[in-house]
């Protein structure tokens, strides 16, 4: 059951645990709502670092949790997000909690952004996927009062609650076993989302996929008994000031196909539809926020399985835009289904594209498990996406698309091949995708690392993280149509 987050001008009497901010060096804000024994904090080794906590008993039998915020002049939205998450983890078993992060700590921070960050951090930290647990041990917090007042703060809290709900949806989709979350189940979820949010939904089944020449998606699907789907969700407000496409990789299970993975390599491959989950989840809240931009969410989804009908290394597929691809590695399948999705986005006449995909292990090697790779063909558009990720608190790092590397994906028998080898694998994958976006401003987020967490940490729980959801919502919320003259990203 989600925590009910509310705004309260003071600490509610019924609150049994109270979170109080403390700066680095155990400095208390001037307007702190509670007195803390600084000597006790020092004895416990509490220094006030961001995300640090220390519980102290109060005279009335309740508990006060000191929350580290770091240096006073460095408090930002991510600081509050992490502090709120730390509080929820510390107060896990208490039903009624209050959080006083606003008390004298955010004078330089926009109050909407502050409220949003607090709600996001608290709610995302409370998430657990417990459907298959006999003894789930979920978070027991039922109510969380954010101590503060003001219309802007309330607006931010409301926004944060919605965004955290979208992240939870994405995590649920990713965490479901692949035997449950099939392409047809993803279609059913997209249908529910469309009906609830008032979005338009178009679905291509396996027959339509073949008839519409989506050769990449149809080819990858050949090895599976589960039929593929192409899902398109559309948010179309009146007086839209542009059109944006979000494209998400939806491989609900990736065995590698005939280029089969090892057993260890397959263990978490239900995560390979994290891009699709991010797109569906982000689309689900757009009508609530009502941005003045038309958004088309495109999700090509299938399993990648080995069988007697699977595509073979050396086979040639024809993508929707007419380009042919020699498939030398069937485990480089995500770019094949994305090629069709990107081609459809270009046909829709969009002003810009963002794709999100667990695309390459090479990106994980380069950037580790917490940072997504960001690539694209338009500097101004990439900067918009980069700024959105920074506001959302999702780590991205820009990578180049060197023109010199394009020859690495030349094919002997087709227009292009689907792998450029191990060296620079994330970059050649990006160059492959670039072949299908035409002259549209396009940004690619390779989330292979941060799509999954192996530990409960901060506001992230073990399993699917829902990464990309908050960035996509930020991209849409502050979308500026890229200038047509601004083409070409630095190489």
Task: Show which residues are catalytic.
Answer: 261, 335
Q: Which two tokens stand for residue 121?
A: 């951090």
The vertex-163 CA angle with 396 and 360, nearest 5°, equals 30
Residues 319, 416: Cα–Cα separation, whole Å: 11
Over the range 371-395, which residues count as b (16 or more CB within 10 Å of their CB) and which as e? bbbbbbbbbbbbbbbbebbbbbbbb
If you search the block for the tokens 């149509």, which residue do you land on?
A: 481
Cβ–Cβ under 8 Å, residues 228 and 282 = no
> CA end-to-end span of the chain, whole Å?
48
CA distance 329 to 419: 7
Residue 155 near residue 113, CB atoms below 8 Å? no
Question: Do residues 129 and 463 lie in contact, with contact meaning Cβ atoms separated by under 8 Å?
Answer: yes
Burial (CB count within 10 angstroms: exposed 0-12, middle 13-18, buried 19+), residue 314: exposed
How far is Cα 24 from Cα 37, in angstroms, rounded to an integer? 15
Alpha carbon distance 387, 13 (integer Å): 41
- Please enumerate in sequence order all residues whose Cβ is within 8 A of that of 116, keeping only pairs 6 or more positions apart, or say none: 77, 156, 157, 159, 160, 163
Q: What one-character DSSP code corresponds to residue 133?
A: -
**Torsion region of 95: left, alpha or beta (phi above 0 gives left; psi -120 to 50 gives alpha):** alpha
Q: Which tokens belong to 283?
A: 């689309």
Residues 6+ apart with CB under 8 A from 147: 8, 9, 10, 11, 33, 98, 99, 100, 101, 102, 103
Give the SS3 label for residue 173.
helix
């Amino acid at each position: 059951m989600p925590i009910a987050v509310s705004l309260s001008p003071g600490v509610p009497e019924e609150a049994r645990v109270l979170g109080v901010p403390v700066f680095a060096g155990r400095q208390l804000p001037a307007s702190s709502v509670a007195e803390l024994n600084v000597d006790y904090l020092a004895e416990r080794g509490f220094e006030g670092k961001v995300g640090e906590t220390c519980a102290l008993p109060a005279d009335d039998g309740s508990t006060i949790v000191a929350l580290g915020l770091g240096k006073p002049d460095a408090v930002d939205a991510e600081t509050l997000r992490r502090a709120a998450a730390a509080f929820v983890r510390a107060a896990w078993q208490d039903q009624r909690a209050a959080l006083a992060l606003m008390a004298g700590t955010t004078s330089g921070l926009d109050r909407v952004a502050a409220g949003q960050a607090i709600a996001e951090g608290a709610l995302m930290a409370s998430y657990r996927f417990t459907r298959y647990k006999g003894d789930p041990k979920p978070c027991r917090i039922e109510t969380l009062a954010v101590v503060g007042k003001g219309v802007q703060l309330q607006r931010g809290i409301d926004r944060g609650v919605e965004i955290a709900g979208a992240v939870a949806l994405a995590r649920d989709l990713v965490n479901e076993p692949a035997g449950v979350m099939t392409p047809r189940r993803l279609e059913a979820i997209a249908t529910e989302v469309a009906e609830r949010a008032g979005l338009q939904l178009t679905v291509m089944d396996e027959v339509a996929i073949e008839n519409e020449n989506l050769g990449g998606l149809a080819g990858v699907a050949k090895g599976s008994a589960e039929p593929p789907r192409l899902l398109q969700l559309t948010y179309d407000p009146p007086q839209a000031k542009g059109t944006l496409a979000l494209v998400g990789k939806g491989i609900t299970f990736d065995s590698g196909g005939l280029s089969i993975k090892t057993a260890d390599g397959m263990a978490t491959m239900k995560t390979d539809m994290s891009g699709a989950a991010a797109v569906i989840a982000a689309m689900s809240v757009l009508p609530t926020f009502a941005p003045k931009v038309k958004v088309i969410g495109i999700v090509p989804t299938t399993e990648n399985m080995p069988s007697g009908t699977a595509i073979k290394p050396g086979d040639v597929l024809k993508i929707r835009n007419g380009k042919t691809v020699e498939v030398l590695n069937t485990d480089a399948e995500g770019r094949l289904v994305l090629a069709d999705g990107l081609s459809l986005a270009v046909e829709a006449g969009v002003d810009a594209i963002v794709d999100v995909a667990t695309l390459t292990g090479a990106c994980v090697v380069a950037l580790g498990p917490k940072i997504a790779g960001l690539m694209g063909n338009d500097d101004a558009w990439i900067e918009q996406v980069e700024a959105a990720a920074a506001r959302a608190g999702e780590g991205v790092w820009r990578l180049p698309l060197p023109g010199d590397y394009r020859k690495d994906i030349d094919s002997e028998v087709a227009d292009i091949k689907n792998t450029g080898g191990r060296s620079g694998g994330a970059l050649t994958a990006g160059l492959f995708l670039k072949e299908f976006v035409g002259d549209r401003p396009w940004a690619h987020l390779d989330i292979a690392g941060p799509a999954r967490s192996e530990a409960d940490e901060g506001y992230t729980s073990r399993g699917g993280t829902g990464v990309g959801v908050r960035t996509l919502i930020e991209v849409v919320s502050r979308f500026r149509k890229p200038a047509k003259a601004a083409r070409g990203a630095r190489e």
